[in-house]
């Protein structure tokens, strides 16, 4: 029997931090695309795998891309993370020391734009259509490629839920579920020792990962990047919460990007990634120390000790929950539908509970942050509970 000619080749990549739900999205695209007559190529390590491609058929590029089959994606879809792997590579800004070996004679500047290589490599692999799955950093480069004529569509992924244009990003629900679960588990220690508990969670510029668990009752207070906090105000509130709690403890969730009034973000070191972001961390330690130091002022002269825990990667590892299994399936299906209809340059989204798609340029044209006036009580350092009618599932929409 003659082999059926492919309708085209679809490339899929995942970039940025891993989250549960990436593999279900890859599966959704792959299984139906193959059924529709397309070939699917998984591009390894995000944009990093593409710039590492050596355009020579004798060269082993298996570390950079792989043909996807139903069997491959079926096995992976039930698991967390991304079996295609990931990176924080920014092809338009590649520093000299990270330029691939085979390109070092061509690109010798301190910072190099390898976009021409990306386009040539996609053509050499045979990619006709590209689906990029990532957060605003990964997708900002997808916008750049679309403007250069590449047929790109995008799927929003980030545990922080801060990609503009959509109410929901893959990974957020599992993150919130884990944060609530671990906070509830840790409260047994806080109660046993009658302490403050300070839990640092992800959230560089947006405080959704601290807001939603607090709104669900996991914590008494939360600190978010959108509102610099007064530590004496926080301490007074935490002492009050502790006194009102029969088990004599109180909990605050702290976004990693939260700042003291007049202060700055806290970083673990000065090293920055390709998008200019230094690794955040340490604000939870500082809040914990200050709470203990100031507590006697509001507690009859007596010091209150703290339990200080950084939840970190525990909330982004492991298998996806139900929402992060269903939404990626829908997003992947929609991304393929766009290709079948000849539509490119779109970001698939959830808006007010309904699936849709918007121009991919929304990723770089605006920011998605907590609307402090609408959702955050700056006097109580706590979410606002009112006016939920017609709001989306996770309350705080992409404005």
pLDDT digits (tens, 9 = 90+) for 203-257: 999 999 999 999 999 999 999 999 999 999 999 999 999 999 999 999 999 999 9
- For residue 392 the two structure tokens come to 């989306």
* Neighbour-count burial for 121-147, b at 16+ CB within 10 Å, e otherwise: bbeebebbbbbbbbbbbbbbbbbbbbe
pLDDT digits (tens, 9 = 90+) for 92-146: 999 999 999 999 999 999 999 999 999 999 999 999 999 999 999 999 999 999 9
In whole angstroms, what is the distance from residue 97 CA to residue 108 CA? Answer: 9
Name residues whose C-beta falls within 8 Å of residue 102's C-beta, 6 or more positions apart in sequence: 54
pLDDT band at 75 (very low <50, low <70, confident <90, very high): confident
pLDDT band at 21 (very low <50, low <70, confident <90, very high): very high
Catalytic residue, chosen from 137, 160, 241, 324, is 160
Percent of the chain with pLDDT over 90: 89
Question: For strand 152-156 and strand 376-377, is the pairing parallel, antiparallel, or unpaired?
Answer: unpaired
CATH topology of domain 9-170+318-365: Rossmann fold (3.40.50)
Domain coordinates of the chain in residue numbers?
9-170+318-365, 174-315+372-383
pLDDT digits (tens, 9 = 90+) for 328-366: 999 999 999 999 999 999 999 999 899 999 999 999 999
pLDDT score at 78: 84
Q: Is the pTM above the cut of 0.85?
A: yes
Range with the poorest average pLDDT among 47-56, 268-277, 361-370, 387-396: 268-277
Residue 60 designated active-site: no
Instruction: Please say if the pLDDT value at position 384 is more than 50.
Output: yes
pLDDT score at 267: 65
Instruction: Please say if the pLDDT value at position 287 is more than 60.
Output: yes
Instruction: Please say if the pLDDT value at position 90 is more than 60.
Output: yes
Instruction: Please say if the pLDDT value at position 277 is more than 70.
Output: no
CATH topology of 9-170+318-365 equal to that of 174-315+372-383? yes
pLDDT band at 2 (very low <50, low <70, confident <90, very high): very low
The CATH number of the structural domain formed by 174-315+372-383 is 3.40.50.460
pLDDT score at 6: 77
pLDDT score at 1: 37
Instruction: Please say if the pLDDT value at position 4 is more than 60.
Output: no
Assign 3-class secondary structure to the chain.
CCCCCCCCEEEEEECCCCCCCHHHHHHHHHHHHHHCCCEEEEECCCHHHHHCCCCCCCCCCCCCEEECCHHHHHHHCCCCCCCCCCCCCCCCCEEHHHCCHHHCCCCCCCEECCHHHHHHHHHHHCCCEEEEEECHHHHHHHHHHHHCCCCEEEEEECCCCCCCCCCCCECHHHHHHHHHHHHHHHHHHHHHHCCEEEEEECCCCCCHHHHHHHHCCCCCEEECCCCCECHHHHHHHHHHHHHHCCCCCEEEEEECCCCECCCCCCEEEEEECCCCCEEECCHHHHHHHHHHHHHHHHCCCCCCCEEEEECHHHHCCCCCCCHHHHHHHHHHHHHHHHHHCCCCCEEEEEECCEEEEEECCHHHHCCCCCCHHHHEECCCCEECCCCCCCCCCCCCCCC
């Amino acid at each position: 029997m003659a082999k059926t000619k492919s309708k085209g080749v679809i490339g899929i990549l995942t970039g940025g931090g891993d989250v549960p739900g990436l593999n279900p999205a890859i599966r959704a695209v792959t299984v139906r695309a193959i059924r529709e007559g397309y070939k699917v190529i998984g591009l390894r390590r995000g944009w990093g795998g593409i710039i590492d491609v050596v355009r020579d058929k004798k060269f082993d590029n298996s570390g950079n891309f792989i043909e996807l089959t139903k069997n491959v994606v079926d096995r992976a879809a039930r698991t967390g993370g991304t079996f295609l792997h990931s990176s924080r590579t920014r092809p338009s800004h590649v520093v000299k020391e990270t330029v691939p070996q085979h390109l070092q004679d061509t690109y010798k500047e301190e910072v190099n734009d390898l976009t021409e290589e990306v386009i040539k490599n996609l053509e050499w692999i045979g990619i006709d259509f590209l689906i990029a799955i990532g957060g605003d950093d990964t997708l900002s480069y997808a916008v750049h490629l679309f403007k250069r004529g590449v047929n790109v569509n995008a799927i929003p992924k980030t545990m922080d839920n801060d990609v503009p244009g959509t109410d929901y990003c893959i990974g957020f629900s599992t993150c919130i579920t884990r944060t609530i679960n671990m906070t509830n588990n840790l409260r047994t220690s806080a109660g046993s020792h009658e302490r403050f508990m300070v839990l640092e969670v992800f959230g560089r510029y947006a405080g959704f990962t601290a807001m939603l668990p607090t709104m669900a009752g996991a914590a008494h207070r939360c600190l978010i990047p959108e509102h610099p906090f007064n530590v004496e105000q926080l301490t007074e509130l935490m002492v009050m919460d502790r006194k009102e709690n029969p088990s004599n403890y109180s909990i605050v969730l702290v976004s990693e990007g939260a700042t003291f009034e007049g202060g700055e973000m806290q970083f673990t070191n000065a090293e920055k990634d390709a998008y200019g972001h230094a690794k955040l961390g340490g604000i939870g330690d500082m809040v914990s120390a200050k709470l203990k130091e100031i507590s006697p002022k509001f507690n009859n002269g007596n010091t209150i000790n703290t339990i200080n825990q950084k939840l970190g990667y525990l909330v982004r590892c492991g298998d996806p929950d139900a929402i992060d299994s269903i939404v990626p399936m829908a997003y992947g299906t929609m991304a393929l539908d766009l290709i079948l209809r000849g539509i490119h340059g779109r970001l698939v989204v959830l808006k007010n509970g309904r699936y849709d798609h918007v121009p991919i340029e929304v990723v770089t044209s605006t920011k998605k942050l907590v609307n402090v006036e609408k959702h955050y009580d700056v006097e109580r350092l706590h979410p606002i509970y009112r006016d939920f009618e017609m709001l989306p599932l996770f309350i705080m929409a992409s404005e």
